[in-house]
Amino acid sequence: MHNYKQEIEDCHNRIKPYIHNTPVMTSTYLNKLSGAEVYFKCENFQRMGAFKMRGATNAILQLSEQQQKRGVVTHSSGNMAQAVALSARSLNIPAYIVMPENAPSVKKEAVLGYGGQVTECESTIEARKATADSIADETGASFLHPSNDLNVIIGQGTTAKELLEEINGLQVVMVPVGGGGLLAGTSLSVKSFGSECITIAGEPMAADDAYRSLQSGQIEKNITFNTIADGLRTHLGDINFPIIQKHVDRIIRVEEEEIINAMRLIWERMKIIVEPSSAVPFAALLKEKEKFAFKKVGIILTGGNVDLANLPF
């Protein structure tokens, strides 16, 4: 039987030396526009530019000393690759990162910049898994899953904990849902540290596996991943799904143009850079704004790693 409140508190104390307690920002204009009182938790200002730093650090710190020495391995073309590389470097252990050969060179350079050892492979999910497995076999490195791992889930939950501790009386906390790690961790923190507070996720209509999974009661897959929210092109796992089923109030789906519009509003009005995935929960709030009227809403802005040469506006 888990005592999640205690586990999240212990985790937070464990990872604090390696992460930033990121600022919470507000915008008078966006409050007027939405009709809600919105508090944005800026994980785009987190180390390496995304909340993933939290879960990766916690998962590595939970390994034994022997395991840590042999290093960690993951496959990712996104923020988890950078998070594992940087948290491993902070702890002085090797990080093996499997990246698809067609990943943007800027992402490979970022991982290399954080000291990660990059192995390229074909871009299929099978090739990525096989390459990671063979590295794990050779080196004895521990495999880190980006979202379907309880240590990662608990680590991501510390974001909402900080937000709830800083802003009293939040009635809703909103996050995007992709792999489900942040959503599961957030919902556990909301139950543990919130008071009459609920968790709501935003999800791209074009990759709405989590919405459909909650409807059907089993993990559904995406046929396509045609969304600009590149951090959300994945699906739930068997560890985070039961938590999401139990603790998440609901999922609101949004269209691509709603995501781009919300992203543009955040850039133009708050003067901060957030990646498309970050804009999904605010897009969801705007879509159903009458339901959030006068509510105190916390939104986790998940990251700020974008390719400036390839913006949607």
Q: Which is nearer to its own copies, 228 or 274 (CB)?
A: 274
Tokens of 148: 């379907």
Amino acid occupying residue 107? K
Instruction: List, in order, residues 6 or more apart from 31 with CB less than 8 Å away.
Output: 37, 38
Residue 259 burial (CB count, 10 A): 28
Whether 77 is a known active-site residue: answer yes
Whether 277 is a known active-site residue: answer no
Q: Which is nearer to its own copies, 219 or 272 (CB)?
A: 272
Least Cβ distance, residue 244 to its own copies (angstroms):
28
State the residues that interact with its own copies by CB under 8 A. Answer: 23, 25, 44-45, 49, 264, 267-268, 271-274, 304, 308-309, 311, 313
Exactly one of 34, 76, 77, 213 is catalytic; name it.
77
Q: Which is nearer to its own copies, 86 or 232 (CB)?
A: 86
Cα distance between residue 235 and residue 221, in whole Å? 6
Residue 172 three-state SS: strand
Least Cβ distance, residue 313 to its own copies (angstroms):
5
Exactly one of 34, 41, 52, 278 is catalytic; name it.
52
* DSSP state letters, 42-95: EGGGSGGGBTHHHHHHHHHHTS-HHHHHH-EEEE-SSHHHHHHHHHHHHTT--E
Least Cβ distance, residue 156 to its own copies (angstroms):
19
Least Cβ distance, residue 44 to its own copies (angstroms):
5
Q: Which is nearer to its own copies, 35 or 245 (CB)?
A: 35
Residue 38 three-state SS: strand
Task: Please list the active-site residues.
Answer: 52, 77
